[in-house]
Amino acid sequence: MMRGMGNMQGMMKQVQKMQKEMEAAQATLNAKEFTGEASNGLVTATFTGDKKMTDLVIKPELIDPEDPDMLQDLMIVAVNDALAKISKETEATMGKYAKGIPGL
């Protein structure tokens, strides 16, 4: 009976350690900046790792009052590019923790 309790305590310590590592990894990821771009940098969107937009830059030479749809499309491309980069980095950083947890 005592042997099982020691094993359980060891397992709980491992889980707590993994939780602290996950929290640190998530904090590092959240602090990182990701920039997506469209049309060779004519539009850039910058986000933090927790998907908060911090900057949106549109080069003046791109602005055509006769074609607002193009500008809108390029903004969407830049935002989606940044969000895809965040997703990729999140999977690379946090995915290793989910692999060891059954059911995830």
CA distance 4 to 76: 55
pTM above 0.85, yes or no: no
Assign residue 40 a region (left: φ > 0; alpha: ψ between -120 and 50; beta: otherwise): left
Residue 15 has pLDDT above 80, yes or no: yes
Q: Is residue 29 part of a domain?
A: yes
Residue 60's CATH number: 3.30.1310.10
The first and second tokens of residue 8, run together, are: 């359980």
Looking at residue 97, its pLDDT comes to 79
Number of domains forming the structure of the chain = 1
Domain range for 77 is 2-98
Hey, which of 15-19, 21-25, 33-37 has the most confident mean pLDDT?
33-37
Q: Which of 99, 40, 101, 29 is nearest to 74 (CA)?
A: 40
Judged against a pLDDT cut of 60, whether residue 2 lies above it is answered with: no
Distance between CA atoms of 81 and 76, rounded to whole angstroms? 8
Q: How much is the pLDDT for 96?
A: 82
Element at 86 (helix H, strand E): helix 68-99
The answer to the question of residue 62 being in a domain is yes
